[in-house]
Amino acid sequence: MLRNPDWEVVKHTLQSVPPEHYMHNWFNQDVASGGALSWQRWEKHDEVLFFLKETPRELNVLDYGCGPGMMDFTLADKDYNVYGYDIDEHVITMANLIRSVQDPIIKDRLVFKTSLPPAEMYFEVCWMSHTLEHIPMEEWPFIFKKLRNQVLLFEIAVPIGHGYDNGDGSHVNFWETLESLTSALSASGLTIRATATDETAWVYRVRGTME
């Protein structure tokens, strides 16, 4: 069972985080009540439910752009080994703070870093859930190329159109069609294996590999 951190400490950590779409006022208010980071909330998150349905247990997962890692804790509780990567040191600090109060078996299944995993590490899945909309498309080829020898499968989800834009500049990419997204991914070197429009979660989903 996952354990809750000290919410006062989490709130203090949040004060250092630059404005982002998951750090808006509604999120901070939810944190104050323990809601935004509650395990009950994340266990039922659309992305978590999709991942659990599509991905065998006990695999090694690279969460590229993990944020505070809330979905990763749920995966670890379901027997996945997760390496959470994010360039934002504040959210990684938060993730490690929450990790520090977990049972040893959960701790052992989780790593949170601001650096990519060493070259000798291998992952069956690279999970890019609500990540690529934040990264300029000209950087995508370098990301996929860097990970090609470490990742078997890329599992990608991005919001449809302007669905999750809060007008704060945090999203640099928008896709009105699934075709425009897959075209950009193909141009970045990804071989597309499957696509879907998930209107329930309001995301486009793409599964791909690097040859």
Tokens 């998930």, residue?
198
Q: Which residues have a Cβ under 8 Å from the Cβ of 182 and sit 6 or more positions away?
A: 192, 195, 206
Residue 24 belongs to a domain: yes
* 9 pLDDT above the threshold of 60: yes
Compute the distance between CA of residue 18 and CA of residue 88 in angstroms, rounded to an integer.
Answer: 9
* DSSP letters for 73-121: HHHHHTT-EEEEE-S-HHHHHHHHHHHTTS-HHHHHTEEEESSPPPTT-
In this prediction, residue 204 has a pLDDT band, given cuts at 50, 70 and 90, of: very high
* Number of domains the chain is built from: 1
Residue 150 belongs to a domain: yes
Compute the distance between CA of residue 67 and CA of residue 165 in angstroms, rounded to an integer.
Answer: 17
The residue that leads in pLDDT, 11 or 4, is 4
Please say whether the beta carbons of 134 and 170 come within 8 A: yes
Residue 182 belongs to a domain: yes
Range of the domain at 135: 7-209
Determine the pLDDT at residue 89. 87
Determine the pLDDT at residue 21. 46
pLDDT tens-digit readout, 144-192 = 999 999 999 999 999 998 766 556 667 888 898 999 999 999 999 999 9
pLDDT tens-digit readout, 91-109 = 898 899 899 999 999 999 9
Residue 1 belongs to a domain: no
CATH of residue 157's domain is 3.40.50.150
Residue 2 belongs to a domain: no
- pTM score, two decimals? 0.90
Please say whether the beta carbons of 105 and 67 come within 8 A: no
